[in-house]
Structure 1
Amino acid sequence: MDTTTQMLRITGPAIAELPVAAADGGQDSISPITVIGNDAVRETFCGQTLRQAINSRLAPGVSRVVLNPDAHVGYGAPVGCVMVSPSHVYPGPVGVDIKCSMSLLQTDLPADAINELTVRRKLIKAIGKRVPSGAGRGQRNAPKSRRVDGALGFQVVTEGATKSVLKKLGIPKGWADACEDAFHTAPDGSSDTLAARLQWMGRQRDKLDRIESKYRQLGSLGGGNHFGEAEVVQLVQDPALRKIGESFGLRDGHVAFLTHCGSRGFGHDMAMGQFRAMKSDFEKRGLAFPAGDPQLCYAEADSDAGQKYLCDMAMGANFATVNHLLINALVLEAFREVFPSVRGELVYFISHNIVRRETIDGMRQWVHRKGATRAFPAGHPDLARTAFADTGHPILLPGNPRDGSSIMVANPGASASAFSVNHGAGRRMSRTKAKKNLRQEAVDQGLLDHDIISNCRVYPRDEAPDAYKDFGEVLASVTQAGLASEVARLKAKFVIKDGAPADD
């Protein structure tokens, strides 16, 4: 354990504090970083991860930083952290995949309906005809996808999941109510401001062509850690938690589909454009980057630069929202190709790469979640007049295909972590290390031993279960810290990943 890790002060079950010294060497005015993780998880935090957390806490305008149990080294700020500020916005602690998210579609199909491998392969093929997977892939790679032209793409990214957009794409209108946020506006509350900014961006023909090419990725999975998984739902035995799971629409012993993806190339371009603009502004003004790291560039939220960032983030977030809803509609359509009478409903859609305005410590602040999931418990004012006001909303946490994924609900104790939990298991190996150290035969056979198949000729080694932290310990950290409780476990039956074969 390195020196920085040894500085952690244990304050409660699976909760610790990391003291932060101010620039003048004092500590009185700087609140410590909240670290969520039991003994086993804290061992996974390397010194660089903690150093990035400290750099983030000392950055201008930051009032609070939380490190979740899935935390690992990121760009500027760690992946798996929460960064709170009353006044500033930071592109780094949102990332380039704006509103990377999770969604869950629950069907009325009993689990034994997909026991046979031949049935699962039919479903994989039917989904592949509608939902392409892999970096850079879009509708042209899927003959039964929805076609999105420039006009519809423009409407999607400036309006989000409005009734008009959903109708044009054949998405059930009620699914918008199962979204953390169905749409995002400019800071002034207007979609017209987003439209004006996007029109300005598209004045150059080459830029317009690129923007419209990204629209055609709607309804597609990306590469890397993005996936779609067919799951069997297993509700917990605790009566109260089981009742909450049932209220979410979960069906014990039935098939569901879990999706992880984000804003694809459109969101990436929005984010990279903002990184370039803010870095250039820093250099022109002779400003120093926090800790000398350009990935921690920032702007005051009410400044011109801050407003532009929030507009571009909103458009990326709108793309991600509609992308998820469209994927779920196409997946349900694919299931109906194999099982014509199957029915399905969206349980929830929730993000983990975004900045939102929320009440933290008694005041409205900008909450940056980088690889962190919102966790509002029952009675939270932001859930008023929603279906989740009396229970808290579903929290969708992917683990890995072998060990399963989890659905949780927040407890009042989530206030200790700025109403946030982890977004998954978190990496314990870099992609390079995983490709070097994990044997392809062992990875593929390990999934088959658990009755899991995929669309890949060989499963990507850098996405193998052993490349990630122990999901059981990660979940234990969340429950031991009193942040959330599990209502269901999801057992994977097949996986849709980037179809490119792993390196040999």
Structure 2
Amino acid sequence: MMTVTGEALATLPAGADLSPITVIGTEPIRQSFGGETLTQAINSRRAPGVSRVVLNPDAHVGYGAPVGCVMVSPTHIYPGPVGVDIKCSMSLLQMDLPADAIDALPLRKQIIRAICKRVPTGAGRGQRHAPKSRSIDGKLGFKIATEGASKQVLKKLGIPKSWADACEDAYHTAPDGSSDTLAARLEWMGRTRDKLDRIESKYRQLGSYGGGNHFGEAEVVHVLDSQRAIAEAFGLKDGCVAFLSHCGSRGFGHDLAVAQFRTLKTAFQKQGLAFPAGDPQLVYAPVDSPEGRDYLCDMAMGANFATVNHLLINDLVLEAFREVFPGVRGELVYFISHNIARQEPIDGTVQWVHRKGATRALPAGHPQLVGTRFESTGHPILLPGNPRDGSSVMVAGEGASAAAYSVNHGAGRRLSRTKAKKQLVQHEIDQGLAEHDVVSNCSVYPRDEAPDAYKDFEEVLGSVRKAGLAEEVARLKAKFVIKDGAAADD
């Protein structure tokens, strides 16, 4: 049973001699979790080597650990709380285009077509599905996976070098700090022709969204009057168009993650080890073991791919806008992950912070921001809601320490995909979006991605504010959405 400690704070006991789980959420949010989500959180807290677990307001059932949780360990790495879409992330591109420039519906459809010619959507889709995409050969794909957003990679793709400074992490290395170790492992993975062909086929998905809940969304930025100084520091432009993207490491990261789950499960079985709570989805490895080092290498390569995937998408989106509005300028506000494990100082020691559907939230003056452009403000937090009710840019406060310097990664699902398809009515979805002047590239908007499939975004944001984790800087209002779906009629 939870113990309520504040308007949007509670604790959930996990057993004797274990610190309780920190729960972020108002009463309506806490009621939304459900028994299976809480059981997964408890199982995660009881798992070997885990020192802390946080349940965020968007939490729902996930792979071993809940989506919307933070799991901290000084000694162990857990693939489940990273997930199969390694470094699934958010990015925000700010343009100097006034909002009224895209008021006309035909103009918005023209921009959508220009983007879709460059950035494909859908599982398994890549460059050959977008005639104006950028070609990625095996040599460049290898460099992207092992170097991330290096100067050479960005130059080769034509992406502004300055955008690397607007990334939570522009590149990831092996545990020994080397990209050479990643290169040796990737060469080993492609040791046969069929394996190399599959890897190179995944490279060609770079610059694409994929399916499910991934999207691109044109926004109008509304800066809060009280936050204009921070908004200016972030590079936000009140009343102008921005573009919000949600995607990850595509098939490249998925293959790495699935192979790691298979390898680690086999290692457990050979050693006769018991899975935490009997759940093979909570398989783990000590970080200093050969299995742990191999996983961290693979996670780093998936994360590098995801980083460059976002940067390329943003550059292609800006190119598409320039096709319609010659001379428009754009800068990357921020790129931030919500499916990653990172080493961070927590509770006085450096630990592995696993964020599964959770977003890093470092306030002004945090040691990890020293020397960055966000040292005096805290970094931008990008929280997607839904195209009907908007999304948010926030900034962390000192209270974020209570949640391992993390917040939720969005609204979180209220209905499973199956229930959403059964319970939600198509014409009501379409009418709701039309009433809010939102169009999409889909001839039929997917019911399992409808706004009402997700939790009440205002209640979720209210939980973050009331818990003292972060404050809103700007609200983003959607003008059009690009998702996996049939092309819209002209």
Q: Determine if contact 2:78/2:285 at 8 Å carries over to the other structure.
A: yes
CA distance in 2, matches of 1:347, 1:290: 40
SS at match of 2:216: strand
- Over 3 Å counting, the alpha-carbon distance change for 1:448 and 1:116 in structure 2 is same
Output aligned runs, 1:338-357, within 5 Å. Answer: 338-357=324-343
Question: What pairs up with 1:445-460 in 2 under 5 angstroms?
Answer: 445-460=431-446
Hey, what does 1:175 align to over in structure 2?
163
In structure 1, the residue matched to 2:13 is 19
- Report the equivalent of 1:467: 453
1:436 maps to 422
Q: CA deviation at 1:500?
A: 4.3
Alpha carbons 2:70, 2:358 under 8 Å: kept: yes
| CA deviation string 1:373-432 (max 9, x = no partner) | 000000000000000000000000000000000000000000000000000000000000
Q: Number of aligned pairs?
A: 488
Contact 1:81 1:371 in 2 (8 A): yes
CA positional deviation for 1:102 = 0.2
Q: Distance in 2 between matches of 1:170 and 1:447?
A: 35
Match of 1:334 among 320, 335, 358: 320
1:14-33 per-residue CA deviation (whole Å, 9 max, x = no partner) reads: 01000111xxxxx2x20000
Shift of 1:155: 0.2
Aligned ranges 1:64-463 → 2 under 5 Å: 64-238=52-226, 241-463=227-449
* CA distance in 2 between partners of 1:402 and 1:105 (Å): 20
Q: Please give the secondary structure, in 2, of the residue aligned with 1:60.
A: coil
CA distance in 1, matches of 2:434, 2:199: 41
Report if aligned partners of 2:441, 2:487 keep a CA contact under 8 Å in 1. Answer: no
Alignment gaps of 5+ in structure 1: 1-6, 22-26
How far apart are the structure 2 equivalents of 1:306 and 1:13?
A: 39
SS at match of 1:229: strand
- Determine the C-alpha separation between the residues in 1 that align with 2:435 and 2:122: 26
**1:17 is matched by which residue type in structure 2?**
T
Secondary structure of the residue that 2:80 maps to in structure 1? coil
The correspondence for 1:53, drawn from 26, 29, 41, is 41
Please tell me whether the aligned partners of residues 441 and 486 of structure 2 are also in contact (alpha carbons under 8 angstroms): no
C-alpha displacement of 1:448: 0.7
Q: Give, in whole Å, the separation in 1 of the partners of 2:284 and 2:412.
A: 26
The answer to whether the Cα contact below 8 Å between 1:129 and 1:142 also exists between their aligned partners in 2 is yes
Distance in 1 (alpha carbons) for counterparts of 2:302 and 2:103: 38
Matched AA of 1:147: S
Q: Distance in 1 between matches of 2:308 and 2:486?
A: 25
Q: 1:38 aligns with which of 26, 30, 33?
A: 26
Q: Deviations over 1:310-348 (max 9, x none)?
A: 000000000000000000000000000000010000000
Distance 2:424 2:474 in 1: 30
1:38, distance to aligned residue in structure 2 (A): 0.4
Contact kept? 1:136, 1:265, Cα under 8 Å: yes
Larger mean Cα displacement after TM superposition, 414-423 or 443-452:
443-452
Distance 1:89 1:245 in 2: 36
Q: Distance in 2 between matches of 1:107 and 1:134?
A: 26
Partners of 2:192 and 2:45 in 1: how far apart? 39
List per-residue Cα deviations over 1:184-216 (Å, max 9, x = no partner). 000000000000000000001111100000000
Paired residue type of 1:372: A
The whole-number CA distance in structure 1 between the counterparts of 2:339 and 2:470 is: 20
What is the CA-CA distance between 1:12 and the residue it aligns to? Answer: 1.6
Supply the distance in 1 between the matched residues of 2:487 and 2:228 (Cα, whole angstroms): 40
- Give, as a single letter, the amino acid of the residue that structure 1 aligns with 2:185: R
**Structure-2-length-normalised TM-score:** 0.99
Specify the code of the residue in structure 2 equivalent to 1:47.
G
| Alpha-carbon distance in 2 for matches of 1:384, 1:71 | 31
1:136 counterpart SS class? coil
Kindly indicate whether the alpha-carbon contact (under 8 Å) linking 1:179 and 1:349 is maintained by their aligned counterparts in 2: yes
Secondary structure of the equivalent of 2:225?
A: coil
1:498 equivalent in structure 2: 484
Partner amino acid, structure 2, of 1:385: G
2:471 corresponds to which of 482, 485, 490 = 485
Cα distance in 1 for partners of 2:454, 2:272 equals 40
Q: In structure 2, the residue corresponding to 1:354 is in which secondary structure?
A: strand
Q: Structure 1 residue 13: deviation in Å?
A: 2.4
Please report the TM-score for the alignment, with normalisation by the length of structure 1: 0.96
The answer (yes or no) to whether the contact 2:175–2:296 under 8 Å persists in 1 is yes
Which amino acid letter does the alignment assign opposite residue 186 of structure 2?
Answer: L
1:246, CA displacement in angstroms?
Answer: 1.2
CA contact 1:458–1:501 (8 Å) conserved in 2: no
Equivalents in 1 of 2:30, 2:19: separation in Å? Answer: 20
The answer on whether the counterparts of 1:131 and 1:220 sit within 8 Å (CA) in structure 2 is yes
**Residues 460 and 501, structure 1, Cα contact 8 Å, conserved in 2:** no
Paired AA for residue 433 in structure 2:
L
CA contact (8 A) 1:443 1:461 kept: yes
Could you tell me whether the CA contact under 8 Å between 1:299 and 1:305 is conserved in 2? Answer: yes
AA aligned to 1:15 is L
CA contact (8 A) 1:413 1:482 kept: yes
Give the superposition deviation at 1:34. Answer: 0.1
Distance in 2 (CA, whole Å) between partners of 1:144 and 1:131 is 8
Identity of aligned residues (%): 77
Q: Distance in 2 between matches of 1:14 and 1:135?
A: 37
Deviations 1:6-54 (A, max 9, x none): x010112201000111xxxxx2x20000000001111101000000000
Structure 1: distance between partners of 2:402 and 2:460? 17
Paired amino acid for 1:9: T
